[in-house]
A and B are shown apart, each in its own frame.
Chain A
Amino acid sequence: MTEYNLDLERQLQERPLPAKQVQVSLESITAEIRPNRNGRSRWLLLTSAAAIVLVITAGLWAGDMTWKQVDHIPPADSENQAGVANQQNSSPIKDLIDLHRLTSDEWKSLLSGTSIDPSIELLHQEKLTDDTNVVFFINQLSPNSEYQIVVANVRQSEEGEYKSVSMTSTNVSKQWTPGPFSEGNAYFLQMAAIGREGSDPLKGQLIGIIRDSKVAAIRMTNEVGDHVDADVIQSASGDSFFFGRIPDSWLEGLRRYMDVSALDNDGAELKTEKHYL
Chain B
Amino acid sequence: MDFTYLETLSDGYDKEQILSDLILAYQNEVWDYALSLTRSTHMADDIAQDVFLAVYEKLHTFRGEASIKTWLLRITRNISFNRRKNSFVRRVLLMKELPESGSNSPSAELEALDNLMSSEAWRLVLQLPVKQREVMVLHAHHALSHDEIASLLRLPVGTVKSRLHHARIKLAKSYEGGQEHDGV
Contacts and interface: CB of A to CB of B under 8 A. Distances in A.
Interface string A109-131: 00000000000000000000000
A236 interface: no
B116 A17 contact: yes
A89 B17 CA distance: 10
Contacts of A202: 1, 24
Interface in B126-184: 126, 136-137, 140-141, 143, 165, 168-169, 171-172, 175, 177-184
A8 B124 contact: yes
B28 interface: yes
A103 to B, nearest CB: 27
A24 B48 contact: yes
B18 interface: yes
Nearest to A55: B24
A67 B3 CA distance: 12
Given A20-B41, A25-B49, A48-B20, A256 B57 contact: no
Contacts of B168: 3-5
Contacts of A78: none
A58 interface: yes
A29 B17 CA distance: 13
Interface of B: 1-5, 8, 10, 12-14, 16-21, 23-24, 27-28, 30-32, 35-36, 41, 45, 48-49, 52-53, 56-57, 67, 69, 116-122, 124-126, 136-137, 140-141, 143, 165, 168-169, 171-172, 175, 177-184
A237 interface: no
A7 interface: yes
A60 B56 contact: no
A223 to B, nearest CB: 12
Contacts of B117: 16-17
Given A26-B20, A193-B1, A8 B67 contact: no
A11 B119 contact: yes
Main secondary structure of the interface of A (DSSP, over half): loop
A24 B27 contact: yes
B180 A2 contact: yes
Contacts of B116: 17
A3 B182 contact: yes
Contact of A64 (B12, B124, B178): B12
Given A7-B177, A11-B119, A202-B1, A48 B16 contact: yes
Contacts of A22: 27-28, 30-31, 45, 48
Interface residues of A, number: 52
Interface string A10-26: 01111111101011111
Contacts of A6: 178-181
A52 B27 CA distance: 13
Nearest to A25: B49
8 contacts: A7-B121, A8-B172, A16-B122, A18-B118, A48-B20, A60-B17, A89-B14, A202-B24
A26 B19 CA distance: 8
A66 interface: yes
A224 interface: no
A272 B155 CA distance: 43
A224 to B, nearest CB: 16
A20 B180 CA distance: 30
B49 A28 contact: yes
Nearest to B143: A13
Contact of B2 (A12, A32, A256): A256
